[in-house]
Chains A and B, each alone.
Chain A
């Protein structure tokens, strides 16, 4: 492949797809899924709403209200499909881009905005949502997910953990160590790699000479590649991997073949390193349009339904914008809070000295 050729445009081989970009249902011998009309409409709603949250967040960043945002545009199906495969007892370990999975785990989107606004470094309770904190260091969370899965084994619980990471993270030592650990411990964990073709400016061939899902066989567990823009396939494949994990069959690596339609983050400029044709080609594989086409063709939803979802998205966008702007800046004392659970003489002394210093300006 030459440096400037469009990437990932042709469907790769060994690719689980249940819904084509044109909205046609196709069969797969190993993965099938029965979804009611209500369930499909619900997936469609999720996809539209998380795209809207993302869009609003990008706008907030452009207006100076967020320091940064990592857009999920184009990856909605991978995140909603896998996120909706989780049971309440399963535990998800995200990167910093899993806004769609956060949505599936009922994390308030404004808490995600708080992190990128600089109000705090996260702040939701991972145990309340079974959705861990965002991890910014690439791949570190893969080991946390495996350790958590080892805890599930020791508890004898009916649960699994799932860890999200990108194509770039597969080069990290921690991800490879996590593969080894999960394999030898037969840990109930699903490795969900969203291969969005780009690690900031570096294309996949800078990370791997073989398709990513094939890495799994070297570690001794199954790997599967799924159309990451097909929410049905992502749901079916993740559901099976999680079930296998819960039933004691160990880990699975899922490579969701997708595309980062936006910049890496709002600080990035992808026009410096990728060609416009590539983006145009991937627009035709949009994860939302194909579900809409499927619902229309099969008369599972009418215009009134689509209008209602659009209106709900508009309301949600307005609401999170309003609540984001209302987020108070933390008090200076917050600097010193939660560094340690037990008292720590150095932190306590510095807190007292700094607050006394600040109080000096109020006299």
Chain B
């Protein structure tokens, strides 16, 4: 076991992927000498060379478009989009090309491209640096969408993503980059498309992914002192979605609160609530409640503590789940 930050765990995972397969490339803005603005690619260019760790021009559509071309030639590019709010210039290449080209070819083309996106707020950033755009991508057939929440998962999930033959949007919780945890560098980890129960409980199921998993674990700790037992599930994969683990939990607890930073309105939680009501209707003691961002643009940083779900807002929703 080794103690690593989440950023370093991703770095070690990428290093391992590049050692295992010479076709794996890393590309993005400032990923070379600088090692990425969050240092996730630190040292990779020095060890693997400029042909495999590519500092690209400052153009996100170009990053994804050329990654597609490289994948057509047999490479496995791992692209870094520097911040969540900068993915939109690449939206066309992601949605009309990367997601659909394998189907367009009737399966003859494979595009094993990973697009890493640091997402979410809580770091006191300026505009466009704190967003949660996951629902745009879960709504696009052909893309897989995953989010890691802790160093151990980050280490195995990035390697699994690189090995996968489908294009993957890989969300990284940027405010958790510096969180440390024990990582077993020999572990295989949970399969990429599986959810994981990270804390067992019997009264309410909390569903989260990325940065909100830690918030939910803390909320469960606080609730325990008040005599409530909360189960926390880290979804890990948003598309596909591991409904068996979700439904198994909700059928036991009868209550569910979904937590994400993205706006609640037509957010990913809406899909979860709908699916749970379809599948677990007779087990539910209360409606599925959602805690998330407001239907406002992401606020200036001095307001972000009001916008982001925190322990108290999660527990408030838990309380409300008992009023039905």
Contact = CB atoms under 8 A, between A and B. Distances in A.
Interface of A: 120-128, 132-133, 135, 137, 140, 142-155, 161, 173-174, 177-178, 180-181, 184, 337-342, 344-347
Contacts of A132: 72
B68 interface: yes
Interface stretch (B31-39, B105-113, B114-122, B288-296): B105-113
Interface stretch (B169-177, B237-245, B247-255): B237-245
Given A177-B57, A345-B241, A346-B241, A337 B66 contact: no
Given A137-B96, A140-B65, A339-B142, A126 B103 contact: no
14 contacts: A133-B105, A133-B109, A142-B65, A143-B64, A144-B65, A144-B97, A147-B65, A150-B70, A181-B57, A338-B103, A338-B105, A338-B107, A344-B144, A346-B241
A67 to B, nearest CB: 16
B141 A147 contact: no
A341 B102 contact: yes
B72 A144 contact: yes
Interface in B108-139: 108-110
Nearest to A182: B66
Contact of A174 (B56, B92, B105): B92
Closest 6 CB pairs of A and B: A147-B69, A143-B65, A151-B73, A147-B66, A338-B107, A177-B62
A34 B211 CA distance: 66
Nearest to A349: B243
Contact of A140 (B72, B96, B105, B164): B96
Q: Which of A124, A144, A346, A347 has the most CB of B within 10 A?
A: A144
B277 to A, nearest CB: 16
A145 B65 CA distance: 9
Task: Give the interface centre of B69, B103, B165, B242 by most chain A CB atoms within 10 Å.
Answer: B69
Contacts of A178: 62, 65
A338 B106 contact: yes
B193 interface: yes
Nearest to B25: A154
B311 interface: no
Interface of B: 51, 56-57, 59, 61-62, 64-75, 89, 92-93, 96-97, 100-110, 141-142, 144, 164-166, 193, 239-243
Nearest to A120: B106
A121 B73 contact: no
Contacts of B142: 339-340
Contacts of A338: 102-103, 105-107
A184 B93 contact: no
B108 A126 contact: yes
A132 B71 CA distance: 13
Nearest to A187: B66
B170 to A, nearest CB: 15
A174 to B, nearest CB: 6
Nearest to B165: A341
Nearest to B141: A339
Given A150-B70, A181-B66, A346 B75 contact: no
Contacts of B67: 147
A115 B313 CA distance: 52
B242 A143 contact: no
A137 B104 contact: no
Nearest to A115: B104
Given A340-B144, A346-B239, A173 B61 contact: yes
Contacts of B141: 339, 347
A132 B109 CA distance: 10
Contacts of A181: 56-57, 59, 62, 66
B57 to A, nearest CB: 5
A148 B239 contact: no
Given A181-B62, A345-B241, A345-B242, A140 B97 contact: yes
Nearest to A183: B57
B166 A341 contact: yes
Given A127-B109, A181-B57, 10 more contacts: A122-B105, A140-B93, A143-B62, A143-B93, A147-B73, A177-B57, A181-B56, A338-B103, A338-B106, A340-B102
A180 B57 CA distance: 8
Nearest to B75: A151
Find the residue from A121, A127, A154, A340 having the highest chain B CB count within 10 A. Answer: A340
B245 to A, nearest CB: 11
A253 B164 CA distance: 36
Contacts of A177: 57, 59, 61-62, 65
Nearest to A147: B69
A180 B61 CA distance: 12
A138 B105 CA distance: 18
B313 to A, nearest CB: 29
B193 A345 contact: yes
A267 to B, nearest CB: 20
Nearest to B240: A345
A155 B61 CA distance: 24
A217 to B, nearest CB: 18
Given A132-B72, A144-B69, A144-B72, A137 B108 contact: no
B68 A147 contact: yes
A219 to B, nearest CB: 11
Given A146-B66, A149-B69, A152-B73, A346 B240 contact: yes
Given A137-B97, A184-B57, A341-B166, A148 B69 contact: yes
B132 to A, nearest CB: 21
B106 A144 contact: no
A133 B75 contact: no
Contacts of B144: 340, 344
Contact of B92 (A128, A140, A344): A140
A146 B61 CA distance: 13
Contacts of A342: 164-166
Contacts of A150: 66, 69-70, 73
